[in-house]
A = this chain, B = another copy of it.
Amino acid sequence: MPQKKLSGIEVAQHNTRGSCWIIVHGNVYDVTDFLDDHPGGSKIILKYAGKDATQEYDPIHPPDAITTNLPPEKHLGPVEPDTVEKVEIVITDDEKARQERMSNRPPLDEILNLHDFEAIAKQVMTDKAWAYYSSAADDEITNRENHAAYHRIWFRPKILIDVTEVDWSTTILGHKSSMPIYITATALGKLGHPDGELTLTRAAAKNGVIQMIPTLASCSFDEIVSAAEPGQVQFLQLYVNKDRAITQRIVQHAEEQGIKGLFITVDAPQLGRREKDMRMKFTDEDPSEVKQAGTGSVDRSQGAARAISSFIDPGLKWADLDWFKSITKMPLILKGVQRWEDALKAYDLGLAGVVLSNHGGRQLDFARSGIEVLVEVVSKFKEIRGITFPNEKFQLFVDGGVRRATDVLKAVALGATAVGIGRPFLYAFSAYGTEGADKALKILNDEFEMNMRLLGAPTIKDVTPDMVDISNISSHIAAIPGDRLYDSNYESMQHAKLREVKSKM
């Protein structure tokens, strides 16, 4: 029975802390009691008290966040659209400057590598989006180590191999991929671009790679699946809900929709402290408000990450995996394995594989990089079970820190089936939308062609362990502190100089 629609005029009167209604997607909600529980703080809600908050709500919340979190009696029903006052969007000077930078982006042809997307995105994204995407745990050591670890691996290329034709396609969980990579799951795509994760779906289709759909997508799961081309392969990344019924519904729905692999996140029983993201919060808060609320029980300074993840079950355990096997036939992969002992457990439980990952450095700082753990896992599996990789039955993936096809080929040489790439695609679509994501894949493709030739590897099977020198993979060297007095006394050597000091630089 259709509800009677509420009038925008009435809604507009509930615009105080004492009675606070908001409109989202044409429905009215009474959030008065929720104000202090809002992980993003009350101020941002109060700004829209009595008004339409959809535009603010959309990029940061999963579509069903409000209906899930508010008790049904607070769902006051639909509003009459033409009675709602338009929320005037005030464009700040900062935002104007940002939009000007956006219009000054260099043409895509000038983007030569994945680093370039990040350099442009950093300048054209909103501060909030940049903070959420780029931030990582604690001192962000692991975040950067993920990339640095690849720099401790060096190549031993072969020569005089006929590389007229080179083929870097592979199969992942039995599905063809044009490259040994996949687009891994990352949350809140709409923060970077209005089309959110759909940009990735489209670019993946064009380039024959697999997309892993995130639980915390800004677009709904069904939207993302619908955007796929016929036959396009997609995986699903899963945060397990404390309410297993919800999880079961998600998993079975995904399987029905043709999802080909279920990647269960196991490195995030609680989402990490990401301080860049947390600091960003304060610019959105009224300081006096913050202080008043200081006595309350809600920690409101947790940034976007914590705001959207309270449903995740910290009680998820090994014993739960049998239940997953019972509710789905999709291959099960653990995402976030960080030691060989746990990879071996997954293998012994008959899972389809593991992703050696530390969640992009966003969870436990000083967790080792996936590529380093890969070396450990392959070595121990060989020693204990006599198993070698790559292996169809149990596949190893890594993610984190990848920027070049050479990074990927190092992982492949060491036994990985494929490598997940996340942030670079976020930066690509944040700066250039679908075309950016497409270009990112094309750049990787070009790099693969080049590097397969230079390695002397006609196919992915020819990229073998003897092609890499990993003797330094576990060297976690922190140089001892410098001698500042000695060093500042040292006068640096100088080059010969032009007669007139009108140098180019």
CA distance in complex: A474, B489 (Å): 25
Q: In the bound complex, how far is the Cα of B24 from the Cα of A71, in angstroms?
A: 66
Q: B294 touching A108 by the CB < 8 A rule?
A: yes
- A495 contacts chain B at the CB level, 8 A cutoff: yes
Given A155-B366, A291-B109, A477-B152, also A164-B315 (CB < 8 A) = yes
In the assembled complex, A211 has its CB within 8 A of some CB on chain B? no
List A116-164 residues whose CB lies under 8 Å from chain B. 116, 118-120, 122-123, 130, 134, 138-141, 143-145, 147-149, 151-164
Interchain residue pairs A-B with the least CB separation, the first 5? A119-B495, A144-B481, A115-B485, A364-B454, A164-B315
Task: Say yes or no: B291 contacts A493, CB within 8 Å.
Answer: no
Contact A489 B342 (CB under 8 A): no
Check A297 for interface membership: any CB of B closer than 8 A. no
Contacting B at CB under 8 A, from A328-384, are 334, 336-339, 341-342, 363-368
A92 in the interface (beta carbon within 8 A): no
Is A177 an interface position by the 8 A CB rule?
no
Residues of chain B contacted by A486 (CB below 8 angstroms):
115, 139, 147, 403
CA distance A243 to B163 in the complex (A): 16
* A310 and B192 alpha carbons, distance in the complex (Å): 40
Q: Is A479 an interface residue when CB atoms closer than 8 A count as contact?
A: yes
Is A494 on the interface with B (CB-CB < 8 A)?
yes
Q: Which residues of B contact A477 (CB under 8 A)?
A: 152, 472, 475, 477-480
Interface bracket on A: 35 or more
Q: A58 an interface residue at 8 Å Cβ cutoff?
A: no
Whether A315 contacts B163 by the Cβ 8 Å rule is: yes
Smallest distance from the beta carbon of A467 to chain B beta carbons, Å? 8
- Mark A257-288 against chain B: 1 for CB-CB distance below 8 A, else 0: 00000000011011011011011001000010
Let me know if A64 is at the binding interface, CB within 8 A.
no
Contacts of A472 in B (CB 8 A): 474-478
Q: Using CB atoms, name the residue of chain B closest to A343.
A: B159
Establish whether residues B339 and A483, one from each chain, have CB atoms under 8 Å apart when the complex forms.
no
Residue among A149, A156, A278, A299 having the largest count of chain B Cβ atoms under 10 Å:
A156
Q: Which residues of B contact A294 (CB under 8 A)?
A: 107-109
Q: Contact between B364 and A155 (Cβ–Cβ < 8 Å)?
A: yes
Contact between A404 and B491 (Cβ–Cβ < 8 Å)?
no
Of A5-13, A178-186, A217-225, A496-504, the one with at least 4 CB within 8 A of chain B: A496-504
Q: Which of A26-34, A43-51, A196-204, A443-451 is the interface stretch?
A: A443-451
For A138, give its contact among B338, B406, B502 (CB under 8 Å).
B406
| Complexed CA–CA distance, A278 and B493 (Å) | 12
Select one of B160, B290, B291 contacting A316, CB under 8 A.
B160
Q: Which residue of B lies closest to A112 (CB)?
A: B275
Which of chain B's residues has its CB closest to A141's CB? B481
Is A110 positioned at the interface, with any CB of B under 8 Å from its CB?
A: yes
A157 CB contact (under 8 Å) in B98, B143, B339, B474:
B339
Rounded to whole angstroms, the CA-CA distance of A162 and B315 in the bound complex is 4
Partner among B101, B154, B317, B488 whose Cβ is within 8 Å of the Cβ of A502? B101
Query: In the complex, A450→B145 CA distance in Å?
Result: 21
- Cβ 8 A contact of A499, one of B106, B130, B151, B321: B106
